[in-house]
Amino acid sequence: MFSSTIPGTIQRQTWSFFRSIGILCLLPTLFSLGFGVQAAPLPAPPQLSAESYLLVDFTSGAVLAEKNPDQRMEPASLTKMMTAYIVAQELARGNISSSDPVIISEEAQAMPGSRMFVEAGTTATVDELLRGLIVQSGNDASVALAEHIGASEAGFVDIMNRVAAKLGMNHSNYMNASGLPDDNHYTTASDLAIIARAIIRDFPELYTIYSQLEYTYNNITQKNRNSLLGRDASVDGMKTGHTNAAGYCLVASAKRENMRLISIILGTASDKTRIAESQRLLNYGFRFFRTEQIYAAGELVSEAQIWMGKQSSIPLGVAEDLFVTLPRDAFETLHSQIEVSDYIKAPARLGQELGRSVLTADSQVVGEVPLLALKKVEEGNILVRMKHSIMRYFR
């Protein structure tokens, strides 16, 4: 556990990211600091005809545009993102394999709505069902997979809600694996951003299925309902949803150069509208924002003087990669103010918090991150300690 206190008086140094030591100039982009900075005038986000929407940067988690992001909404088939995530977890843990035969139940075959057309009493592999779930949005595939993993759909729903809580989806509740309407089955745009980021981050091999344009099962070929895939070459997933109560919904992800954005559009009037509004939102984000890596985990950020130790200095860095998403012009004014204690005493342990980096742009604080010891420094011998004690006394 890292220390959360910085002893002594703070000593400040300020460096420009673009005019100082090479390390800072080369360091790569921000983790989960959703903030904004005003540099040059930034155009307002487009006003969309959706009940709720959200645009986030995948890497940093920064929110670039939003409307009612925490409003409770019916997820419809966006539910299947959580279903697929749990299937991927079970595959990764070795509890199931993609070639496992899954017996199709009467309940699975009888599911209404979108289907992949499995037949009761037959078997389909986990891989076939997973593609039927994601590409064809099969409600029957959802139930078949849920029964295979949770013994029953109800048992699987318990897993869904536990995983949602662990991911921090605090405004979601699942009642089924497919997204059929239920008064107690709900989510929010903010929570959908969490599960979307988790899929791309934790299971990139699963995410590739979301870009599959069509899938054939039982001699029936169905196209991916996310028609944004064929309209925008940068879009490579994710999932559509629709019920009368939910309206037309779409979670989409696109990557242009080194930046990936996730858009969530909920409650539009038609498929055409959800596609057009998703496109407008993504274009806005890519046009006016940029994501850059500021610090890389374990790389040197600064050095601090250490007393009473075998070494006279100690290297400082960050525990995780640090990324920042800002309006494009704001990067020209981005600075790091390094703050470290003026008295660090050995022994110092690896990972001990000894300072912080405060990031500013246009004279506004846009975030800060603890600076940790990148190596341990042991206490020096008695002669070193005596020498340093005398130096400290006269200083």
Vertex 326: Cα angle to 208 and 195 (nearest 5)? 35
- From the list 60, 77, 172, 336, the catalytic residue is 77
- Whether the pLDDT of residue 338 is over 50: the answer is yes
Q: Report how far apart, in Å, the C-alpha atoms of 288 and of each of 186, 285, 328, 352 are.
A: 32, 6, 6, 38
Instruction: Determine contact, residues 60/323, Cβ cutoff 8 Å.
Output: yes
pLDDT, mean of residues 266-284: 97
pLDDT tens column, 108-130: 999 999 999 999 999 999 999 99
Element (DSSP H or E) covering residue 310: none
What's the pLDDT score for residue 32? 34
Q: What string of DSSP letters covers 329-352?
A: GGGGG-EEEEEEES--BS-B-TT-
The whole-chain average pLDDT of the chain stands at 89
Read off the pTM. 0.85
Token pair belonging to 20: 């100082």
Say what the pLDDT of residue 35 is.
Answer: 39
What are the residue ranges spanned by the domains of the chain?
Answer: 10-28+296-394, 52-288
DSSP for 33-66? Answer: ------SSPPPPPP--SSSEEEEEETTT--EEEE
Whether 334 and 359 have beta carbons less than 8 Å apart is answered as yes
Residue 108 CB neighbours (<10 A): 29
Catalytic residue among 52, 105, 114, 137: 137
Closest to 82 measured CA to CA, from 152, 185, 183: 185
What percent of the chain shows pLDDT beyond 90?
82
41 Cβ neighbours under 8 A, 6+ residues apart: none
- What's the rounded Cα separation, in Å, for the pair 292 and 17? 12
Q: Stretch 387-395: mean pLDDT, rounded?
A: 82
Question: Which comes out higher in pLDDT, residue 97 or 367?
Answer: 97
Give the confidence band of 34 by pLDDT, cuts at 50, 70, 90.
very low
Residues 6+ apart with CB under 8 A from 53: 65, 66, 67, 68, 69, 189, 263, 264, 265, 266, 277, 281
Place of tokens 């109560």: 245
Report the C-alpha gap between 336 and 353 in whole angstroms: 17
Q: Is the pLDDT of residue 275 over 50?
A: yes
Under CATH, which number does the domain 10-28+296-394 receive?
A: 2.60.410.10
| C-alpha–C-alpha distance, residues 32 and 323, integer Å | 8
Report the distance separating Cα 378 and Cα 309, nearest Å: 6
Give the per-residue pLDDT at 366: 87
Instruction: Tally Cβ neighbours within 10 Å of residue 193.
Output: 23
52-288: in CATH 3.40.710.10: yes
SS3 at position 281: helix
- Tens-digit pLDDT profile for residues 189-238: 999 999 999 999 999 999 999 999 999 999 999 999 999 998 999 999 99
Say yes or no to pLDDT of 172 above 60.
yes
pLDDT at 42: 87
Tokens for 14, please give them.
């300020």
Alpha carbon 131 to its chain centroid, in Å, reads 23
- At position 219, the amino acid (one-letter code) is N
pLDDT (average), residues 311-339: 94
Among 178, 207, 152, which residue's Cα sits nearest to residue 79? 178
Catalytic residue among 52, 60, 80, 114: 80
Q: Exposed e or buried b for every residue in 72-103, given b needs 16+ CB within 10 A?
A: ebbbbbbbbbbbbbbbbbbbeeeebeeebebe
Banded model confidence at residue 102, pLDDT cuts 50, 70, 90:
very high
For position 39, what pLDDT does the model report?
Answer: 46
Which two structure tokens, joined as six digits, stand for 325?
A: 């998403």
Which range (48-57, 87-96, 138-147, 327-336) has the least confidence?
A: 327-336
Q: Is the pLDDT of residue 31 over 70?
A: no
What would the mean pLDDT of 63-92 be, rounded to a whole number?
A: 98
Residue 375 appears among annotated catalytic residues: no
Average pLDDT over residues 160-177: 98
Q: Residue 80 catalytic?
A: yes
223 flagged as catalytic: no
Please report the pLDDT score of residue 380 as a whole number.
85
Grade residue 20 by pLDDT with cuts at 50, 70 and 90. very low
Burial class (CB in 10 A: 0-12, 13-18, 19+), 162: exposed
Give me the pLDDT at residue 40, please: 55
d(Cα 330, Cα 383) in Å, to the nearest integer? 50
